[in-house]
Amino acid sequence: MHRNFLILGAAAAIVISGGRAVFAEEKIETVEVLSPVYTVDRIYKSMNGPVSTQEILPSSGQKSELVWIRGYKAVMVGEDGQTAMPQEFMCHSNLDLNWQKHREKFSANNMSSSRLFTLSQGQFDIHFPDGFGIPVFSDEPLALTTQVLNLNDPTGVHKVRHKVSLEILRDSDAEKPVKPLFGTAAYGLQLVEGDTPYFGVEKPDKEHHGTGCLVGQSASNNFYEDPFGRHFTGHWVVKPGREENRTLATKLMKLPYDTTIHYIAVHLHPFAESIELRDLTENKTLFKSKATNFREKIGLEHVEAFSSEEGIPVFKDHEYELVSVYNNTTKENQDSMAVMYLYLLDKTFTKPDSGGA
């Protein structure tokens, strides 16, 4: 049996098919979406390449029903939608909720932003542990944003596109209750304007809040402003050499209560060495992801993710720090980001009525 995966809008040509298979005793529906075709014919730095956003629905059917997102994958392919292309052409693939419509369907939700997933160089798929998923309704509009990157080939002409896959489990097909996840994130930041490099803390104490982030230079026009008028950037310049940046991430994570982390996806840029989430209160590392760069060209070959049914305990009243390490081996400035997307157990989830009423 096949189910269609609906894309709204005329901007993208699509190839759509939904096959049903059994993975870990679950009836998983795998659906695929193709982005528009992008022409890569010059150097494109991070977040400067061709980009598009298309609206999709997570599943098809005549009725609105609860479904669980179990995984997300994005790879680069050719114009035909099948031929494998170098992953180095991927800048990122983002999937976002329509926040207002989502809140209408779920009376309470702990997600701190509309972002569901980000995939980029080094991590091209996310698969939650068995029995876990993110709840959405089958008729909720989702925004898929894809962008390309080219750091190595200034003269070639390449026709590429993103091939994106979602793994969906319909609640009616679940053989046992699915454990709900909600998403938040820990961001690396650098201070660009203000007195102290601690996001969201009026009077920081190094013993409890760590050393704070570096004072740096933004690589874009996107800034975060904390309640005390300080301006930070999450996309900063790394000068030649090695850099370690420590960001107080507690306010950014917005933990609503004590819970457990069951999946961590990582977003880094080329020249990254590692990213680490630390519990400052207990003075210990919760997870450290190591990055592998290509040897003969610029780009990330692999970054480590975290997945666990048992999970990592985190606590609302603890302080957390994100540590990123970059080693810019060139003679030019490079851009960087450092993000851990955290997927945590939603302890307050209540299954809504069919249709999200």
Domain carrying residue 323: 183-345
pLDDT at 108: 63
Q: Write the CB contacts of 221 (distance below 8 Å, at least 6 apart in sequence).
A: none
Report d(CA 265, CA 267) in Å as an integer. 7
Residue 356 is assigned to a structural domain of this protein: no
What is the number of structural domains in the chain? 2
Q: Are residues 110 and 125 located together in one domain of the fold?
A: yes
Residue 133 is assigned to a structural domain of this protein: yes
Q: Are residues 205 and 312 located together in one domain of the fold?
A: yes
Q: Are residues 142 and 215 located together in one domain of the fold?
A: no
pLDDT at 204: 95
| Residue 261 identity (one-letter amino acid) | I
Which of 182, 211, 237 lies at the terminal end of a domain, its last residue? 182
pLDDT at 314: 98
Distance, first Cα to last Cα, the chain? 29
Residue pLDDT tens, the chain, 357 long: 333 334 443 333 333 333 333 344 568 998 899 999 999 999 999 889 999 999 998 887 778 899 999 999 999 999 999 999 999 999 999 999 988 888 888 876 677 778 999 999 999 999 999 999 999 999 999 999 999 999 999 999 999 999 999 999 999 999 999 999 999 999 999 999 999 999 999 999 999 999 999 999 999 888 999 999 999 999 999 999 999 999 999 999 999 999 999 999 999 999 999 999 999 999 999 999 999 999 999 999 999 999 999 999 999 999 999 999 999 999 999 999 999 999 999 999 988 876 544
Q: Are residues 337 and 193 located together in one domain of the fold?
A: yes
pLDDT at 26: 66
Which of 182, 207, 234 lies at the terminal end of a domain, its last residue? 182
Please answer whether residues 56 and 7 qualify as being in contact, where contact means their C-beta atoms are separated by less than 8 angstroms: yes
Helices vs. strands in the chain: H and E counts, helices first: 3, 26
Q: Are residues 203 and 133 located together in one domain of the fold?
A: no
Q: Are residues 160 and 104 located together in one domain of the fold?
A: yes
Q: Are residues 47 and 107 located together in one domain of the fold?
A: yes
Q: Are residues 188 and 219 located together in one domain of the fold?
A: yes
Which of 150, 182, 214 lies at the terminal end of a domain, its last residue? 182
Q: Are residues 39 and 53 located together in one domain of the fold?
A: yes
Q: Are residues 95 and 152 located together in one domain of the fold?
A: yes
Q: Are residues 176 and 35 located together in one domain of the fold?
A: yes
Residue 350 is assigned to a structural domain of this protein: no
